């Protein structure tokens, strides 16, 4: 299995995941042109995509969806609540109903040779999900846009090989920054985004001997930066009550403006 961040951040998100025979996009929150350029950089094309998985309807996850899905007739897999919210977004344009494939949290479905498990997350959207992808004995997850985590989330993220995990903001930067009070409260709330500290703590709950790599994603442009997210997550792992240390596995930070290395397992 392969996982690559084409773009990840508060301004736009698009992830490629696939095997030798199946190719998927998770979210298309950047322009169609950037999606295609990013795929070309890693040796793929948009017309190869077997499906687009959409986590939720916020613009940083769907801004390129209409263009890409209509141009190549790519099926869109998302919850009914998310699809209905997408249809109300004028920026996506007319969305062909025949491209919609309804999914439900905790109901596995199969695309090509990939088994996909949608996971319900706590975020201020219509019916948001994260995704776990499995191929044979290998598994990867894309887990962003969650204001909190609980035993449900921890249980579903056990025994992964690779995890792309949100590290959205530094709490202090957010609190003293220029965002309006209501927006700060939204981000910090149970339906907002994971801070660097919470990201590290969640990661510490799911580490195991065969864990391969974590990619920190969805960083805020205004309230975070790469080195801070990286060092904070490392510190939380080292302080956690488990036998693992931050140096035991690779930690990458996805960029909003640059295609990441391809992570394979």
pLDDT one-digit tens code per residue, 124-173: 999 999 999 999 999 999 999 999 999 999 999 999 999 999 999 999 99
Give whole-number Cα distances, 36 to 33, 39, 68, 157, in Å: 5, 5, 9, 30
Residues 161 and 92 both lie in one domain:
no
* Integer-rounded Cα radius of gyration of the chain: 17
Q: Indicate the residue among 108, 133, 158 that finishes a domain.
A: 108
> Domain for residue 223, yes or no?
yes
CATH number for the domain including 45?
Answer: 3.60.15.10
**Secondary structure string (H, E, C) spanning the chain:** CEEEEEECCCCCCEEEEECCCCEEEECCCCCHHHHHHHHHHCCCCHHHCCEEECCCCCHHHHCCHHHHHHHHCCCEEEEHHHHHHHHCCHHHCCCCHHHEEEECCCCCEEECCEEEEEEECCCCCCCCEEEEEEECCEEEEEECCCCCCCHHHHHHCCCCCEEEEECCECHHHHHHCCCCHHHHHHHHCCCCCCEHHHHHHHHHHHCCCCCCEEEEECCCCCCCCHHHHHHHHHHHHHHCCCCCCHHHCCEEECCCCCCCCCEEC
| Structural domain count of the chain | 2
Residue 77 is predicted with a pLDDT of 98
Residue 206 is predicted with a pLDDT of 97
The pTM for the full model equals 0.96
> Domain for residue 44, yes or no?
yes
Residue 213 is predicted with a pLDDT of 97
> Domain for residue 162, yes or no?
yes
Rounded-to-integer distance, Cα 219 and Cα 249, Å:
21
pLDDT in tens, 66-86: 999 999 999 999 999 999 999
Rounded to whole angstroms, the maximal C-alpha distance in the chain is 52
> Domain for residue 54, yes or no?
yes
> Domain for residue 222, yes or no?
yes
pLDDT higher at 121 or 91: 121
Residues 103 and 167 both lie in one domain:
no
Q: Indicate the residue among 108, 134, 164 that finishes a domain.
A: 108
Residue 224 is predicted with a pLDDT of 97
Residue 12 is predicted with a pLDDT of 96
pLDDT in tens, 100-117: 999 999 999 999 999 999
Contact 236, 204 (CB under 8 A): yes
Angle, alpha carbons 104-106-108 (nearest 5°) = 80
Residues 94 and 174 both lie in one domain:
no
Residue 219 is predicted with a pLDDT of 97
Domain of 231 in residue numbering reads as: 146-254
> Domain for residue 115, yes or no?
no
Closest CA to 205 of 160, 247, 171, 250: 160
Rounded-to-integer distance, Cα 17 and Cα 236, Å:
28
Percent of the residues in the chain that have a pLDDT greater than 70, as a whole number? 100
What is the overall mean pLDDT for the chain?
A: 97
Q: Indicate the residue among 108, 124, 158 that finishes a domain.
A: 108
Rounded-to-integer distance, Cα 86 and Cα 76, Å:
11
**Lowest mean pLDDT across 30-39, 88-97, 117-126:** 88-97
> Domain for residue 174, yes or no?
yes
Residue 253 is predicted with a pLDDT of 98
Residue 74 is predicted with a pLDDT of 98
């Amino acid at each position: 299995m392969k996982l690559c961040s084409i773009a990840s951040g508060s301004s736009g998100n698009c992830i490629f995941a696939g095997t030798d025979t199946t190719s998927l996009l998770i979210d298309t929150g950047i322009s169609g042109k950037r999606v295609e350029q990013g795929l070309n950089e890693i040796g793929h094309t948009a017309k190869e995509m077997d499906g687009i998985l959409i986590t939720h309807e916020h613009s940083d996850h769907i801004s390129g969806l209409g263009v890409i899905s209509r141009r190549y007739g790519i099926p869109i897999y998302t919850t009914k609540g998310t699809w209905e919210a997408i249809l109300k977004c004028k920026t996506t344009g007319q969305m062909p109903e025949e491209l919609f494939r309804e999914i439900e949290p905790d109901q596995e479905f199969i695309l090509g040779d990939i088994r996909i498990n949608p996971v319900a997350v706590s975020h201020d959207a219509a019916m948001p999900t994260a995704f776990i992808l499995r191929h044979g004995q290998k598994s990867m997850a894309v887990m962003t846009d969650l204001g909190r985590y609980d035993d449900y989330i921890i249980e579903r993220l056990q025994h992964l090989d690779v995890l792309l995990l949100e590290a959205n903001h530094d709490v202090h930067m957010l609190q003293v920054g220029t965002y309006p009070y209501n927006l700060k409260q939204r981000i910090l709330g149970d339906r907002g985004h994971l801070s660097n500290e919470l990201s590290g703590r969640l990661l510490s709950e799911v580490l195991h001997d065969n864990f391969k790599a974590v990619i920190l994603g969805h960083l805020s442009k205004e309230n975070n930066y790469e080195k801070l997210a990286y060092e904070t997550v490392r510190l939380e792992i080292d302080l956690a009550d488990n036998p693992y240390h931050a140096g035991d596995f690779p930690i990458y930070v996805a960029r909003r403006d640059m295609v990441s290395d391809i992570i394979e397992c």
